[in-house]
Amino acid sequence: SQQGEEDPQALSIQEGENATMNCSYKTSINNLQWYRQNSGRGLVHLILIRSNEREKHSGRLRVTLDTSKKSSSLLITASRAADTASYFCATDAKDYKLSFGAGTTVTVRA
Partner 1 sequence: DAGITQSPRHKVTETGTPVTLRCHQTENHRYMYWYRQDPGHGLRLIHYSYGVKDTDKGEVSDGYSVSRSKTEDFLLTLESATSSQTSVYFCAISESRGGAYNEQFFGPGTRLTVL
Give residues in contact with partner 1 (CB under 8 A).
1-2, 30-31, 33, 40-45, 48, 88, 90-92, 95-103
Residue closer to partner 1 (CB basis): 82 or 110? 82
Rounded to whole angstroms, the Cα distance separating 44 from 54 reads 22
Q: For 35, what's the count of Cα atoms within 13 Å in the CB-facing half-sphere?
A: 18
Rounded to whole angstroms, the Cα distance separating 1 from 47 reads 23
Nearest distance, CB of residue 79 and partner 1, angstroms? 22
Nearest distance, CB of residue 16 and partner 1, angstroms? 29
Residue closer to partner 1 (CB basis): 18 or 38? 38
Residue closer to partner 1 (CB basis): 18 or 58? 58
